[in-house]
Every structure is written in structure tokens, then in C-alpha cells.
Amino acid sequence: MTDLAPHGLHHVTAIASDPQANVDFYTGVLGLRLVKQTVNFDAPDVYHLYYGDETGSPSSILTFFPWRGVPAGRQGSGLTTATAFSVPPESLGWWQSRIAALGIEHEGPRTRDGEEVLTFRDPDGLVIDVVAAPGDTRSGWDGVADVPAEHAVRGLHAVTLSERLPDPTVELLTGLLGMSAAGEDGDRARFAMAGGGAGAVLDVAADRRPDGLQAGGTVHHVAFRVADRATQAAWRAELVEAGMQVTEILDRQYFTSIYFREPGGVLFEIATDEPGFAVDEPLLELGRSLKLPPWLEPTREQIAASLPTLRVP
């Protein structure tokens, strides 16, 4: 087993279609804060939208590449098939009533992995779980939506990987990635980071369906937390030594990242906690305007012209 281990989830990145519908759902329905409005650094004619708590704390962040006209994806093996957020246990009924009142189809609440879970989908079909999580002391964001602070989403809780052959993935998680087994529920196995708890849980589900199709309404990658770049570099060296195909350290402006694929095909990222989202705009103004990294600033006019206008609450 490695001496290195993630602190928990850093963020989840998914694929959407219409950026305005995406903003309206995640700010207006889930009550998350749009903490950064930027672009996909590899395809700057596409937004990269970040949602989270008030500051965009690691483990609270869900991000999207909204490609207009993207075809719908298909859930199946080899994908991250659910993204879970935590709420106070006494708030799950409130969320069920809210989702029902908005006309959003949902399942549950039902018991899974010893937790009460409410499941629904976003406008592109991305599977969202809301989990009653006792002991999650993180503060929620209650800024612009009509979600009272006592019911607000606390942050990411867990992700679910669907795997046709779970064993090689489990070996990676408990070996090189330093996670610990934390229980089983039917065809699902749970793994904990940093002792487990909200924001530090990953589930692996055995899935006999055909391979999933990564497109609209599916997760692009899952990122894990590491404290700083020095630890990230040490982890990269250990992964490379073990024979993993790992990218160089990439500057994502708000963190640095490395990427590699686990045996089942899911793309993993290891991202630093620092420097954070206030590096290029004040905390009170997060997400209100388009921010670009220095190397894209010379083409700001062309990039802005290629993007649809967003109405940001």
C-alpha cells in the first residue's frame, strides 16, 4: 500500500448540453453557487462552469463542460454513474417535497449503503443522489435560491463507479490510491478516504450492462484531493513507477492536476487544494463574469464571441 492517500473527493466534472439550463438547474434547483465561469482550457469555445459552496471548497465542487448540441450519453459499465451530495438527515423530506413540487421525477428516499438516498436527474440526465448524512458539519450555500441554510446542500458525498470487472479497480483503490474498504451492500462495495465520511467516499458497483457512452448527461472524470503540488508530484512518480500512464502536472489556474485511467476506464484526476477560486476575483464576485487564464487572455475577444451569453443569478 502507498504512503500517499487522497484527503477525499476534490470535484466531479460532467458533460452538459445547454449552459443556461445547466446554470438554472444547479443554482436554482440545487441551490449551489456558481463559483467560476471560465472555459475548457483544451477547447476554449466551450464554457467550464464550476458550482460549489460559498468559496468553492474542495469536496463541494461539481463542474460542467456544456457542449451545445452534444448527443445524449448512455449509462453503463466503465463510467461514473452517480454523483451524491450530502444534506442534513432531517432535510431529506424537505428535498423530496421540493423536487416533487418542481415536477422533477425522482426515486426514493430508499436505504442504500446504510443511508437514506433520494435520486433524480438533471436536465441532461445526469444522475444525482441526495444523501442524508449525519455528522457532516460543512456549511451549505444559501445565497440566491430559496433553499434555507438549514436544508442547504453541504457538498459532495460520494461517487459511484460502475464496473464490469470490479476487482482490478478495487486493487487500485486499496493499493496505489490508499483507500480502505468500508462495507458492502449487495453488488456494491464502499471505499473510504481519510477515514470516510461525507466527501470522502467512493462506491464501486458491479455492472453487467454494455459499456456506457460518455456524452451529454454523463460524468467526464472524478478528481481526488491532495494538499499541495509537492505531494502531487510524489504521487505522480509513484503512479508512473507502478506502470500507470499519467499526464504531466497541468496548470488549471485554480489547482494543478494529473490524470490517469483506472482499469475499468474511468478517468481519474488528482487535484491540489490550492490556490483556490479567489485567485483571480474577489470572493463576493465569484462566478459573475468570464475569467480566463493568462495564456488565453490575448484571445479574450474571440473566445467571448464564441460563447453564448449567460444569465447568472
DSSP string for 240-280: HHTT---PPPEE-SSSEEEEEE-TTS-EEEEEES-S-GGGS
Hey, what amino acid is at 92?
Answer: L
Contact 178, 190 (CB under 8 A): no
* In-domain check, residue 311: no
| CA–CA gap between residue 51 and residue 56 (Å, rounded) | 7
Region 219-241 average pLDDT: 96
Contacts of 83 (CB under 8 A, 6+ apart): 12, 14, 62, 126, 127, 128, 129, 156, 159, 219
Q: Is residue 39 part of a domain?
A: yes
Structural domain tally of the chain?
1
d(CA 22, CA 14): 11
pTM of the model: 0.96
Per-residue pLDDT tens over the stretch 45-98: 999 999 999 999 999 999 999 999 999 999 999 999 999 999 999 999 999 999
Asked whether residue 151 is domain-assigned, the answer is: yes
Asked whether residue 184 is domain-assigned, the answer is yes
What's the rounded Cα separation, in Å, for the pair 205 and 165? 10
Average pLDDT score over residue span 2-12: 86
Our CA angle for 102, 107, 108, nearest 5°, is 110
What is the tens place of the pLDDT at every residue in 169-193?
Answer: 999 999 999 999 999 999 999 999 9
Q: Does residue 302 carry a pLDDT above 60?
A: yes
Could you give the strand order of the β-sheet that contains 250-251, starting from the edge strand earlier in sequence? 33-40, 43-52, 61-66, 9-16, 219-226, 267-272, 256-261, 250-251
CB 51 within 8 A of CB 33: yes
Q: 199 near 8, Cβ under 8 Å?
A: yes
Query: Residue 226 falls within a domain, yes or no?
Result: yes
**What's at 70, amino acid-wise?**
V
Please give the pLDDT value at position 146. 87
The answer to whether position 2 is within a domain reads no
> Residues 6 or more apart from 48 whose CB is under 8 A from it?
36, 38, 39, 40, 41, 63, 64, 65
pLDDT for 299 beyond 60? yes
pLDDT at 141: 83
Average pLDDT of the residues of the chain = 95
221 domain residue, yes or no: yes
pLDDT over threshold 60, residue 1: no
Q: Quickly state the pLDDT bin for 195 (edges 50, 70, 90).
A: confident
What is the span of the domain harbouring residue 93? 8-306
Instruction: Quote the Cα angle for 94-115-81, to 5°.
Output: 90
- The predicted model gives 104-127 an average pLDDT of 96
pLDDT (0 to 100) of residue 91? 96
Residue 83: CATH number of its domain: 3.10.180.10
pLDDT tens track for 253-291: 999 999 999 999 999 999 999 999 999 999 999 999 999
Say if 175 falls within a structural domain: yes
pLDDT bracket for residue 143 (50, 70, 90): confident
